[in-house]
Amino acid sequence: MVKEDLFAARAELPDLAHVEQLRRLLHEHAHRYYVLDEPSIPDAEYDRLFQELQAIELQHPELLTPDSPTQRVGGKVLDQFASVRHAVPMLSIRTETDTQASGARNFDARVRRELGLDESAPVLEYVAEPKFDGLAINLRYRRGVLVQAATRGDGEVGEDVTQNIRTIGQIPLRLPAAAPAVLEVRGEVYMRRDDFETLNQKQRERDQKTFVNPRNAAAGAVRQLDPAIAAQRPLSFFAYGLGEVTPADAGGPEFDTHWDLLQTLKSWGFPVSSLVTKAQGATELIAYHESIARLRDGLGFDIDGVVYKVNSLALQRRLGFVTREPRWAVAHKFPAQEQLTTVLAIDVQVGRTGKLTPVAKLAPVFVGGVTVTNATLHNEDEARRKDVRVGDTVIVRRAGDVIPEVVSVVLPAPSEPSRRGPIFTMPRQCPVCGSTAVREEGEVDYRCSGGLFCSAQRKQAILHFAQRRAVEVEGLGEKLVDQLVDGDVIRVLPDLYRLGITSLASLDRMADKSAQNLVDALQKSKQTTLPRFLFGLGIRHVGEATAKELARHFGRLDAIMDASVEQLLQVADIGPIVAQSVRTFFDQTHNREVVEQLRACGVSWPEGAAAPVTPKPLSGKTFVITGTLPTMSRDEAKDLIEAAGGKVAGSVSKKTTFVVAGSEAGSKLDKARELGVAVLDEAGLKELLNGGS
Ligand code: IVH
């Protein structure tokens, strides 16, 4: 009996070396997974190790340590955060608001002046880093174990958010033996854009408030009193500096440069951005600012500029601080791409082809380098999906050169009184001419059915015809066209060429001189080319390139106007949609009339001969598509075949040249085999399309 008891007790005593081994493995794999993004074991294996450790710790709570990998989640719900006085104040960086190259040049010049370097002194070495758009955190390690994480707060005193920071897989809970006894690592906690999208998607599914941007979502998660909720908000981390560290004379590390310090942090398991680089002098700082600005939209996370730091720590010490900002660092911003503003109205604009576009009229904001007063809502579905209404506070975004758009609505707290307008609906009548607005099946857009009866479409059509890339009528701008159309001076395009100096000079703000200039410009525009004229007509789907192809292929306008869909399909790069659109345009008598009148007014171009027809690879071949193709839809395959001159039929017969079969092809494939028709898979079709036989 006694013997057995002893044995049982021994069996229950966990093997301490094994527990330690489990923890070491779990730390190592977490680092590989979260920081290096190179897991070396399957997730299931990690989970198995984790559960084994968890079971041991549950049975033997005395073995639990704060750096155990199981301790990332599981803290208590707090009433409030404790205050933390920073051992070394958390400084801020001076911001260079000049977003041009001169911002970098000024910083370099200032540093050189303060160091007393004259022009003959060599260039200074800097470290250039992205300015991450998250929140600053101080991580305190004692003897290699994470003991505290604090927010920046006012720089002197922050909040203890250790429980929440522990949940971030990228932050090491334990450091290698080489790390000093006291180590504070500073860096930015942020949320990746894809994690932000997923989080917002989940919030929507649960009918909970969505976050405005990744920065706010990250800040909310870090300051979450319930660590279980924080654990569900996926956060990431980049290290960029140090706080308190065991001094060198007490056995702490000695670094010569900021760069070395970052490399060491990396070797201890901290994530350091791969975009961090050394830069020599102002020239390389400017190049860095430009290259990161180009990468900005494609990065996985938000940044709002770059940071330059003097690399030598000895020089950093010499430079010192002004108030709370180091003289050795500067943040060089990019123009802000998002701003908050209010929706004053939602207008509906009518495009050249009658497309109705909802546009939010905004209280003016400076965003992405320009003042924005309009932002597109694209179409009715988009406007409703985002639920943008008059009176709403919205985030507008203008990234790169794209047209400004409304990202999302910032909803007031449920307790606040709502002054929101009604849900947006697209008017069923054109707001300009009152014609019926129609939305064709499968289309997202509503279109005004008024055609050139609609003055909005007429104005756009005239501007399109007169633009530089079409027939070019110099000096015929938007304001003038508004006056001409609204004053009924111009009803149809050819009226342009019937304008006399007297009718023009009678317009508001039109001096005799400018009237004469316009008449001259109109005269000049009469000598044009066939591609310019064709493009200027504004046929749907006929851009400059297509107009050139049409002109080259047919040589003369009459040949194009009379071409059948089949003949149009012979033109390089013209598919069924464009061919049909050209045909439909010239089937309308009023469009032919416009062409005739323009010619009668003297608009002319040199005409040529039709280019010799190069037969398309699939001319004369008939295809039947069946089953599911691996990468394209049947419609896509059909478009490609037709664009290459082939025909697509619905059923297999002796006339069928090829059957293109995907997975689950049924009776059509049987029929093909029965009739001895050649069968292709998607790869075979692609080969044919590329000119194979
Ligand atoms: S260094 C003494 N480096 O910018 C310099 N800060 O105004 C201390 N930030 O609160 C900061 N990216 O949250 C540094 N690569 C970077 C940074 C960075 C973002 C933030 C940080 C800090 C603020 C400074």
644 with 689: CB under 8 angstroms?
Answer: yes
Can you give the pLDDT at residue 9? 45
Judged by average pLDDT, the poorest of 389-398, 609-618, 655-664 is 609-618
Residue 58: how many other CB atoms lie within 10 Å: 10
Can you give the pLDDT at residue 670? 87
More confident residue, 403 or 566: 566
Cβ burial of 613 (10 Å; 0-12, 13-18, 19+) is exposed
Positive or negative, the Cα torsion across 339, 345, 346, 348? Answer: negative
Residue pointed to by tokens 């005004």 = 448
Q: Ligand 1 within 6 A of 308 CB?
A: no
250 with 256: CB under 8 angstroms?
Answer: no
- From 91, 93, 151, 321, the mutation candidate for ligand 1 (largest count of ligand atoms within 8 A of CB) is 93
Mean of pLDDT values over 201-214? 76
- The CA 117 to ligand 1 mean position distance, Å, reads 26
The per-residue pLDDT for range 508-548, each reduced to its tens digit, is 777 778 888 999 999 999 999 999 999 999 998 898 888 99
What does DSSP say about strands 658-661 and 622-626: parallel, antiparallel, or unpaired? parallel
State the Cα–Cα distance between residues 381 and 500, nearest whole angstrom. Answer: 46
Name the DSSP letter for residue 628. B
Spatial strand order in the sheet of 236-245: 145-151, 135-142, 182-190, 236-245
The per-residue pLDDT for range 268-282, each reduced to its tens digit, is 999 999 999 999 999
Q: Ligand 1 within 6 A of 327 CB?
A: no
Can you give the pLDDT at residue 210? 72
- The CA 356 to ligand 1 mean position distance, Å, reads 46
Mean of pLDDT values over 412-425? 81
> What are the tokens at 176?
């290698």
Q: Which of 454, 444, 448, 424 lies closest to 436, judged by CA?
A: 448
> What are the tokens at 221?
């998660």
State the Cα–Cα distance between residues 68 and 22, nearest whole angstrom. Answer: 10
- The CA 222 to ligand 1 mean position distance, Å, reads 17
Q: Ligand 1 within 6 A of 333 CB?
A: no
> What are the tokens at 210?
């969505």
Is residue 497's pLDDT more than 50?
yes
State the Cα–Cα distance between residues 399 and 326, nearest whole angstrom. Answer: 31
> What are the tokens at 303?
């940044």
- The CA 131 to ligand 1 mean position distance, Å, reads 7
Q: Name the band, by pLDDT with cuts 50, 70 and 90, for residue 198.
A: confident
What does DSSP say about strands 678-680 and 658-661: parallel, antiparallel, or unpaired? parallel
Is residue 3's pLDDT more than 50?
no
- The CA 301 to ligand 1 mean position distance, Å, reads 16
Helix (H) or strand (E) holding 297: none
Q: Ligand 1 within 6 A of 241 CB?
A: yes
Q: Ligand 1 within 6 A of 136 CB?
A: yes
Report which ligand 1 atom has the smallest distance to the Cα of 306: 15
State the Cα–Cα distance between residues 67 and 147, nearest whole angstrom. Answer: 8
- The CA 370 to ligand 1 mean position distance, Å, reads 27
CB within 8 Å of 132: residues ≥ 6 apart:
188, 190, 238, 240, 273, 301, 302, 303
> Cα 119 vs. chain centroid, distance in angstroms?
43
Q: Ligand 1 within 6 A of 92 CB?
A: yes
CB within 8 Å of 268: residues ≥ 6 apart:
172, 175, 176, 178, 179
The three-class DSSP label of residue 394 is strand
Is residue 434's pLDDT more than 80?
yes
Judged by average pLDDT, the poorest of 143-152, 270-279, 673-682 is 673-682
Task: Write the CA distances from 392 to 349, 410, 595, integer angstroms.
Answer: 20, 7, 47
Is residue 369's pLDDT more than 90?
no
Is residue 212's pLDDT more than 80?
no
Can you give the pLDDT at residue 256? 97
- From 126, 127, 131, 276, the mutation candidate for ligand 1 (largest count of ligand atoms within 8 A of CB) is 131
State the Cα–Cα distance between residues 62 and 51, nearest whole angstrom. Answer: 18
Report which ligand 1 atom has the smallest distance to the Cα of 134: 13
Q: 145 pairs with which residues across the strands?
A: 142, 174
Mean of pLDDT values over 617-631? 87
Q: Ligand 1 within 6 A of 129 CB?
A: yes
Q: Ligand 1 within 6 A of 132 CB?
A: yes
Mean of pLDDT values over 253-272? 97
State the Cα–Cα distance between residues 508 and 521, nearest whole angstrom. Answer: 19
- From 184, 188, 189, 304, the mutation candidate for ligand 1 (largest count of ligand atoms within 8 A of CB) is 188
Residue whose CA is at the smallest distance from ligand 1 atom 12: 131
Report which ligand 1 atom has the smallest distance to the Cα of 136: 13
- The CA 93 to ligand 1 mean position distance, Å, reads 6
Q: Ligand 1 within 6 A of 187 CB?
A: no
Is residue 391's pLDDT more than 70?
yes
Among residues of the chain, what percentage have pLDDT more than 70? 97
Can you give the pLDDT at residue 8? 46
Can you give the pLDDT at residue 2? 45
Report which ligand 1 atom has the smallest distance to the Cα of 130: 15
Can you give the pLDDT at residue 473? 95
Helices (H) and strands (E) in the chain, counts: 25, 24
Highest mean pLDDT among 90-104, 142-156, 511-525: 142-156
Q: Ligand 1 within 6 A of 275 CB?
A: no
Task: Write the CA distances from 439 to 66, 389, 426, 427, 569, integer angstroms.
Answer: 62, 22, 10, 11, 27
State the Cα–Cα distance between residues 350 and 348, nearest whole angstrom. Answer: 7
Backbone angles phi, psi at 385, to 5 degrees: -60, -45
Active site residues: 131
Residue whose CA is at the smallest distance from ligand 1 atom 2: 91
- The CA 192 to ligand 1 mean position distance, Å, reads 18
Helix (H) or strand (E) holding 315: helix 313-319
117 with 295: CB under 8 angstroms?
Answer: no
Full set of structural domains in the chain with CATH: 3-72 (1.10.287.610), 112-333 (3.30.470.30), 338-410 (2.40.50.140), 484-614 (1.10.150.20), 622-689 (3.40.50.10190)
- The CA 293 to ligand 1 mean position distance, Å, reads 18
Helix (H) or strand (E) holding 236: strand 236-245
Mean of pLDDT values over 328-356? 91
Query: Among the residues of 167-306, which ranges form H helices?
Result: 193-205, 214-222, 227-231, 258-267, 281-295
Q: Calculate ∠ Cα 215-221-222, nearest 5°.
A: 90
Q: Ligand 1 within 6 A of 240 CB?
A: yes
Q: Name the band, by pLDDT with cuts 50, 70 and 90, for residue 692.
A: low
Residue whose CA is at the smallest distance from ligand 1 atom 17: 131
Mean of pLDDT values over 162-176? 94
Mean pLDDT of the residues in the chain: 89
Q: Ligand 1 within 6 A of 190 CB?
A: no
Can you give the pLDDT at residue 47? 86
Is residue 5's pLDDT more than 70?
no
- The CA 275 to ligand 1 mean position distance, Å, reads 15
Report which ligand 1 atom has the smallest distance to the Cα of 276: 15
Can you give the pLDDT at residue 4? 46
Is residue 418's pLDDT more than 80?
no
